[in-house]
């Protein structure tokens, strides 16, 4: 079965008919409710008072209804006008919606939200509908603005459906590059129907992602973002059918970039050898090979 993300942009795919069909489906209602409850469990909001939650890609407001039932206030944003019309018809108490493309950034003031949730929306940013749209740029805009609108003690839990491991890697590294800590939790990694991906983000470097559901003891089912050095390292393991990826990242230090090894004697000799193997004419080595030229007058 083809994925909707690869057929049309979300604002065109979810037209009037598709939006009402989506909202009236008992199957979709049950799935959205179950996922939202799981997201709230992982978000671990304080019980003492209601919180203000941002619902990214809120659609017809199915996840917003769960937020209201849990006693929280929420603001939902979505790119589909038809979906938002269905959400407004419900007149859900404690919630409001607005039209916004998350790939252009979130239009809210800094430090506004106690938490951010998203259900089945994040993967749409991995697809380009025109030549001007770059998934990396859209993901960077989204995560940069997400980093801004969250309170410093808040977290974001974003459930999504990656088409492949490359999309999961792209999303995880995009979140890490703007400064987030956390990772991706994969519930029921060995099930084709029940497998769910959750991107769990925090400002705390010591933050540990929640435990995944449906995993066998001793098997990893997460992608962790851990601060160390200034590189992005990927370690892939196939101990199970789940993704077992560990990311090591940190905030990059500003400074001059060095070009170690570029045009050194060893580099030049290796390049000459490669060209000789290709059958190309190469000058013989001499005592001047790799020597730095004197400056001009």
Query: Virtual CA dihedral for 169, 191, 83, 69, nearest 10 degrees?
Result: -110
Position 220 scores a pLDDT of 53
Summary mean pLDDT of the chain = 83
pLDDT band at 102 (very low <50, low <70, confident <90, very high): very high
Q: What value, to the nearest 5°, has the Cα angle with vertex 17 and ends 15 and 20?
A: 100
Q: Are 40 and 70 in contact (CB under 8 A)?
A: yes
Going by DSSP bridges, is the β-strand pair 244-249/222-227 parallel, antiparallel, or unpaired?
A: parallel
Average the pLDDT over each of 119-128, 150-159, 211-220 and give the range with the smallest value: 211-220
Position 282 scores a pLDDT of 84
Q: Which two tokens stand for residue 264?
A: 């050194």
Q: Per-residue pLDDT for 253 more than 80?
A: no
pLDDT digits (tens, 9 = 90+) for 62-84: 999 999 999 999 999 999 999 99
pLDDT digits (tens, 9 = 90+) for 190-205: 888 899 999 999 999 8
Q: Are 58 and 85 in contact (CB under 8 A)?
A: no
Q: Per-residue pLDDT for 224 more than 60?
A: no
- Residue 88 and residue 59: Cα distance in Å, rounded? 11
Query: Virtual CA dihedral for 72, 77, 82, 87, nearest 10 degrees?
Result: 10
Position 90 scores a pLDDT of 87
pLDDT digits (tens, 9 = 90+) for 134-184: 999 999 999 999 999 999 999 999 999 999 988 999 999 999 999 999 999
pLDDT band at 290 (very low <50, low <70, confident <90, very high): confident
Q: Per-residue pLDDT for 58 more than 60?
A: yes
- Residue 129 and residue 230: Cα distance in Å, rounded? 33
Q: Are 174 and 160 in contact (CB under 8 A)?
A: no
- Whole-model pTM: value is 0.75
Identify the structural domains of the chain with CATH numbers, from first to last: 4-249 (3.40.50.150), 262-297 (no CATH)
Average pLDDT estimate for 105-121: 97
């Amino acid at each position: 079965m083809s994925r909707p993300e690869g057929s049309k942009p979300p604002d065109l795919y979810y037209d009037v008919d598709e939006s009402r069909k989506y909202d009236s489906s008992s199957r979709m209602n049950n799935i959205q409710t179950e996922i939202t409850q799981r997201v709230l469990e992982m978000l671990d909001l304080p019980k003492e008072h209601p919180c203000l939650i941002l619902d990214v890609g809120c659609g017809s407001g199915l996840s917003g209804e769960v937020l209201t039932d849990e006693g929280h206030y929420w603001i939902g944003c979505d790119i589909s006008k038809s979906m938002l019309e269905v959400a407004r018809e419900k007149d859900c108490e404690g919630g409001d919606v607005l039209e916004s493309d998350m790939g252009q950034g979130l239009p809210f003031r800094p430090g506004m939200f106690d938490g951010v949730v998203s259900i089945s929306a994040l993967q749409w940013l991995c697809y380009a509908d025109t030549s001007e749209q770059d998934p990396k740029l859209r993901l960077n805009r989204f995560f940069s603005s997400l980093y801004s609108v969250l309170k410093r003690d808040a977290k974001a839990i974003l459930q999504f459906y990656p088409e492949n491991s490359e999309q999961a890697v792209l999303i995880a590294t995009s979140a890490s590059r703007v400064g987030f800590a956390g990772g991706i939790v994969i519930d029921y990694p060995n099930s084709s129907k029940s497998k769910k991906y959750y991107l769990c983000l925090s400002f705390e470097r010591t933050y540990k992602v929640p435990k995944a559901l449906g995993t066998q003891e001793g098997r990893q089912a997460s992608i962790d973002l851990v601060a160390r050095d200034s590189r992005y390292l990927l370690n892939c393991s196939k101990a199970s059918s789940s993704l077992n990826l560990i990311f090591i990242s940190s905030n990059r230090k500003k400074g001059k970039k060095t070009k170690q090894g570029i045009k050194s004697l060893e580099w030049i000799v290796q390049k000459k050898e490669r060209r000789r193997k290709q059958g190309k004419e190469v000058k013989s080595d001499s005592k001047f090979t790799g020597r730095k030229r004197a400056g001009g007058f």
